[in-house]
Structure formats: structure tokens, C-alpha cells
């Protein structure tokens, strides 16, 4: 059976150049990079070369790039570092649009007594409500706002958040800003001015199992794990030079990726247009969120009368890979927290995310539309 992979927000196929770099590093840079002998220094050089490429991509000094196991750990580091153990609790401002690696950490910090979480209102267009952000930053009843955390691109809807506006408002009252930019690097422009930002190469055709947290010079990052001096003691553990090598190559290629990904919008729009024209028994699909504020490769459609996870399973049998939400929660019939925040309970289980990439073809689009039509009209 021919298949169409339309789940690029979940993960992306590694580039051939990435795989080549990883194979070469596995062969020549396998030693422990913390060792001071020549073999260790060779592995260390591969890691530092990758760190320089990542710093260039995100616009920071390479010394302010900390390797992690992925974007999830990077978000954990950023949030927990803003609320150190033993300091008076302060306000963390975020929204239910965020990835679970942000929302669940926020909830944990509140349970631990380290933060009071202010959940922002969100618009039906899929962005945080900036007027409510102003209210949250002006209110001192529960303490001083210490951190505002915002996605660059939403993982389910592809909606681009007003990052520049959030940064300006937060910095005006002295709050730090963390940007979860995992879904953005190499695909859309990421505004500057943030204090910390997360990166995951497997979202930009790099390897899984590695990520990074970038920070503005002088921002304090506290370790979550203890037991080693690697990554300036922030992230102990023996580093894998082959993963770093792949990350570095992906970062270098992503540095001019925005134009390439912008060219995907017509194909995304074609898929969306043809799917929204299907006269399904329960009605036609509609786009979730403001269609003018989206990354060029993502479409989330609300299907009346369907449970998104069930539609995804049926499409899989037809040879099409899509998702009903974040990959870390896919396969469940729990309401999407993102769609729940945007629309309420009625549509929170009805979303199906379609996300394409730079190897998606017109034939893939045709196969996908044919599969949707077969499932929806049978």
C-alpha cells in the first residue's frame, strides 16, 4: 500500500546529510567527550561545532546553548530555573494553548508552592489574549510576575503566537520570557528578545533524543539533574557526539529554511480546500483558528460528528498518517487542551491535524484527499 505521511509536526524524516554526519561521528567521535585525551577531544570538537551551528541559528553565543534530551527537557529547565527552590513564590503567566511540557510543569510548580500560575484567556483564533496578558502583568495580588512562557507556533493548530508583543509587555514589568520555539525554527521567523528558548532538531529534519535550551547571556539556568559537570553542570550526563553532529547539520540547513517552508503553503491550502469541500454526513469541516496566522505547513480541521482519534485510525488503514493532537497524547480520546481552550467541549475532540513537509508531493495530497473522502462518506 502506498502511504502519505502528513504528520510532520509530530516528527520529520532525517535529512540524508544528517544521517551521514551521524554515521561519521559514530565511527570517528565515539569516545567520551569529557575525557581529556585525544579521542575525547575529537568527540568534544564535534559537539562544540554543533553548538556553534545552533547558536548561529537561534542568535545566541554558543556558550549559552545547553544540550538536553529534547524540547520537553528544555522547557522543564527553563520553567524550573525561573522558580528556584528556596525563593519566594512568584507568578508564572501562561495559557492552555501551550505544550504539555509547559502546562504540566506549571501545574507542578504551583503544587510545590514555587509559583502561582495565571492562565491567560485565549481567542477563538488560537492566540493568547493580549488584553488579558496586560491584566495579568498589572495584577500584583498573587505576587510579581516572574516568567511569561509562550509558544512561537502552536503544536496542534500551527497558529503563530504574538511573541514580539508578549516579550515587549513582559519585559516592561521586569518579567522573564521563555519561548517554546520547537515548532518554529527553520520554518517561520522567530522574534528576538526572548530570555530562553527551546529547540528540538527532530522537528527540523534532525535526530531524536537531543534538544537544546538557548538563553540570553546572564540568564540563570539551574540543573534538574545532578551528578556531573557536563554542560557547565546544568545538564549532567555523557553526551552523544553522533546526535550532536546530526543536530548541528540540521541547524545549519534550517538557517535558511523559512523561504523553503513558506513555499509549502499552496500545497497545504490545496489539501485544506479539497477536504473542506467534502460533503460528509455530519457536515463539512472547518479550519481551527485564524487561517491568516498559521505556519505554512499546518492545518487543523474540525470534523462535525467525528472523534478525531477515530478518524485518524480509519485514515491510517487507508494509508494516510495524520494526528488528532500532540504526538505525546495521540491515540487518546481525551479532549485536546488546545481546542478546549479555543472552542469549549463541543469541538475539543473533533480536530485532526495535517502537517506537511518539504518532501510532501501533489500525489501525497491526492492520496490523502481520496482517503478522507472514502472514510467520511462510507
* Burial class of residue 255 (count of CB atoms within 10 Å of its CB; 0-12, 13-18, 19+): middle
What is d(CA 316, CA 5) in angstroms, rounded to the nearest whole number?
Answer: 10
Q: Give whole-number Cα distances, 292 to 93, 129, 298, in Å.
A: 26, 17, 12
What is d(CA 156, CA 323) in angstroms, rounded to the nearest whole number?
Answer: 9
First-last CA distance in the chain: 20
Q: Give whole-number Cα distances, 331 to 104, 229, 250, 316, in Å.
A: 19, 39, 29, 12
Identify the CA nearest to 147 among candidates 175, 117, 179, 121.
175
What is d(CA 359, CA 354) in angstroms, rounded to the nearest whole number?
Answer: 14
Cell of 45: 570538537
**Beta bridge partner(s), residue 231:** none
Identify the CA nearest to 336 among candidates 360, 308, 359, 312.
308
The catalytic site residues sit at 328
Identify the CA nearest to 346 among candidates 338, 335, 354.
335
Contacts of 33 (CB under 8 A, 6+ apart): 40, 43, 44, 46, 47, 238, 239, 241
Which residue has cell 479532549?
Answer: 335
What is d(CA 119, CA 78) in angstroms, rounded to the nearest whole number?
Answer: 18
Cell of 226: 545532578
* Burial class of residue 216 (count of CB atoms within 10 Å of its CB; 0-12, 13-18, 19+): middle
What is d(CA 87, CA 179) in angstroms, rounded to the nearest whole number?
Answer: 23
Amino acid at each position: 500500500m502506498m502511504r502519505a505521511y502528513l504528520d510532520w509536526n509530530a516528527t520529520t524524516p532525517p535529512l540524508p546529510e544528517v544521517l551521514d554526519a551521524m554515521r561519521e561521528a559514530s565511527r570517528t567521535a565515539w569516545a567520551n567527550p569529557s575525557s581529556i585525551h585525544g579521542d575525547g577531544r575529537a568527540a568534544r570538537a564535534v559537539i562544540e561545532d554543533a553548538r556553534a551551528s545552533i547558536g548561529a541559528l537561534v542568535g545566541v553565543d554558543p556558550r549559552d546553548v545547553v544540550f538536553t534530551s529534547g524540547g520537553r527537557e528544555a522547557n522543564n529547565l527553563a520553567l524550573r530555573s525561573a522558580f528556584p527552590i528556596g525563593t519566594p513564590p512568584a507568578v508564572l503567566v501562561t495559557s492552555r494553548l501551550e505544550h504539555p511540557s509547559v502546562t504540566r510543569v506549571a501545574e507542578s510548580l504551583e503544587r510545590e508552592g514555587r509559583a502561582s500560575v495565571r492562565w491567560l484567556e485565549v481567542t477563538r483564533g488560537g492566540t493568547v489574549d493580549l488584553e488579558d496578558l496586560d491584566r495579568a502583568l498589572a495584577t500584583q495580588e498573587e505576587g510579581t510576575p516572574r516568567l511569561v512562557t509562550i509558544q512561537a507556533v502552536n503544536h496542534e493548530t500551527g497558529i503563530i503566537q504574538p511573541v514580539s508583543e508578549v516579550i515587549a509587555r513582559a519585559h516592561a514589568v521586569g518579567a522573564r520570557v521563555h519561548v517554546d520555539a520547537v515548532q518554529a525554527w527553520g520554518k517561520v521567523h522567530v522574534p528576538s528578545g526572548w530570555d530562553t528558548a527551546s529547540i528540538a532538531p527532530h522537528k527540523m529534519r534532525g535526530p531524536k533524543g537531543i534538544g537544546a535550551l538557548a538563553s540570553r547571556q546572564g540568564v540563570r539556568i539551574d540543573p534538574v539533574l545532578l551528578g556531573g559537570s557536563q554542560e557547565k553542570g546544568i545538564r549532567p550526563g555523557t553526551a552523544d557526539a553522533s546526535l550532536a553532529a546530526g543536530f548541528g547539520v540540521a541547524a545549519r540547513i534550517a538557517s535558511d529554511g523559512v523561504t523553503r517552508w513558506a513555499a509549502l503553503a499552496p500545497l497545504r491550502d490545496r489539501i485544506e480546500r479539497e477536504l473542506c469541500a467534502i460533503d460528509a454526513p455530519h457536515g463539512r469541516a472547518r479550519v481551527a483558528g485564524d487561517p491568516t496566522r498559521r505556519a505554512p505547513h499546518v492545518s487543523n480541521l474540525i470534523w462535525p460528528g467525528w472523534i478525531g482519534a477515530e478518524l485518524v485510525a480509519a485514515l491510517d488503514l487507508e494509508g494516510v498518517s495524520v494526528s488528532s493532537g500532540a504526538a505525546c497524547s495521540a491515540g487518546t480520546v481525551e479532549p485536546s487542551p488546545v481546542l478546549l481552550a479555543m472552542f469549549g467541549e463541543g469541538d475539543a475532540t473533533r480536530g485532526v491535524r495535517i502537517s506537511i513537509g518539504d518532501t510532501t508531493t501533489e500525489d501525497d495530497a491526492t492520496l490523502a484527499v481520496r482517503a478522507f473522502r472514502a472514510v467520511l462518506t462510507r
